[in-house]
Structure 1
Amino acid sequence: MSVSRIVKRAIVLLLLASASAAGNVTNVLAADIVKLAVGAPNNWDSSIPEIGQRAGIFAKHGLQLDILYTQGGGETMQAVISGSVDIGVAAGTHAAMGAFAKGAPVRILAAGTTGAGDLYWYVPAASPIKSFQDTNGKTAGFSTVGASTHITLLALIKHFGTSTRATATGAGASTLTQVLSGQIDVGWASPPFGLRQLQEGSIRLIARGNDAPSMVNQTVRVHIVNANALKQRADVINRFMQAYRETYEFLYSDPRGVRVFSEYSSVPEDLAIQIRDTFMPKPVLSPDKVSGLEAIMADAITFKTLSAPLSQQQLTELIQIPPRP
């Protein structure tokens, strides 16, 4: 090949590369940014936006996620109400209802987690506490006020009839520190957090969320959206839900889903599969229906996050899950 032909070929390749790069830049610039507040980073149920972003699913729908991680559902709720984020992932359903009833600009965009089988409470291995019935007068942790950990702990206390003192302890890591240092008697966790300590025997499980029968069929966590964002960015929010549903299917139906979660959470793949199959089977995370509304409202009234049941009209306004296309 002559020198001139080599030069011409190089120029053509350079122009093609430039055009491709320009196209990629245009795609990035054209993506709509969606701000999220997400409680409990690294958890299976709250990982769907992160997994979808890493797998390119949200980009395919023209979205770029800006994710803020919080200490729990209470912080997530406040971020959505203030309008500093568009969507909140894994907020407590009771708290969402209570905030809506008080006029807060919050709507339920999707069901998050139905049942509380992923939440568990534990004590140090040397603790004299053997079961939840032994927690009379003891302190037990939950993440933040209004979070699913809070409501589930109150349900456990009610079910077992104990005088346990519910205490806000923040995220799983800070809770473990408080338990092991003796600042609190009973800690809370959700997989993958704490599984290594359980396997090593440094902590003992004394209760799971579903030990309170009232929690089994309730959608305890929901994904919420700022009402103004829902109105002003309807197309963006609908595309978010399309990408969310696609990621949900990807996480359960494609082996790559577990691999992406493993990379994100630094959890071995075999443990990720155990979390999925034991704590988070697919129906638990179905986004399309908020289950157990009557029981949710009854408990919300009992635990004083709601003063009276919501009417059907109010529920219709609150729950705005976009239909599947």
Structure 2
Amino acid sequence: MLSGISAITIGQSHIDNKTECQDSAILDFNDKYVMGAVADGHGSKKHFRSAKGSQFAVEAAKYSIYEYMNDNYEKFVDAYNKDKKYLIDRIIKMLITKWHEKIQEDINNEPITQEEIDKYLDGNFNEDKIASIYGTTLLVGVMGEGCNFGFLIGDGSFVVIDKHGKAYIPIEDENSKANYTTSLSSSDSFNGFVTHFFDEMPFSIMVSTDGLVKSFGDDNDFLDYNQAIAMELDGLDTVDKRIEMEDRLTKLFEQRSRDGSEDDISISIIFNSDAYESVKQGLETRRKLNKIDEQIGLSKKKIVTLDFKQKQ
């Protein structure tokens, strides 16, 4: 059975500064496919409606995927297998169009005021770049029989747990390494998307905003954390159980934000619950190996420290 959970936690810095959460998350699952998405509004002064922008982004992703996949799933899978890139590019283009439509609807309902222009844009308002006010990232994962894929624009993390329990990151935004965030509001946003296709259905796809990964010292610790979450995905076969797990994640992320990035943290996790038993052993083994590697690493540091002291 395909299923999903999500959680959104306001960052500690947002609590301290009394600013709104910029993150959004969404899920959509049925007997054909499951999708999960997260988005992180840029949040700076000139992006003063980016909290709405992130919400519009995940809604546009859900809408576009539904439009293509829900009506005739078998036909979609057939087209997907013939030309994956062409089909997913069309979904992304529809998503971008829908996002801009939602922005226009919001502006029609709540026009940009002169007060906002003076306060947030220092009086410099360019109507041609109005989408930047709603600037956001977006990460999306989809799992279904015969078609499994994901895409993203901007920073955040796209983590996969394969059928052997291995956690890895197949795609990321290269600009984030240069401390630059690619945005859905860019005039050339379509070319900013990075896409990944799976040869077979993984156990789980976990998309999260950058507030989570920035709470860890390195990628290994972060992936180990994702594997620990994956081990908790068993038995989530009712709405109540999924809500309970989402509440647990929210509380965990509150602590993560306080001790780490202080940023908003959001995650959407989609998974194949029928595969849990077969992947469980792999998850447990890899967690044990990670702990052994961690102990070896600590031992090496101690040896280096002792050697340094002896030389002194």
Under TM normalisation by the shorter chain, which class is it? Answer: under 0.3
Normalising by structure 1, we get a TM-score of: 0.23
TM-score, normalising length from structure 2?
0.24
**Larger Rg over CA atoms:** 1
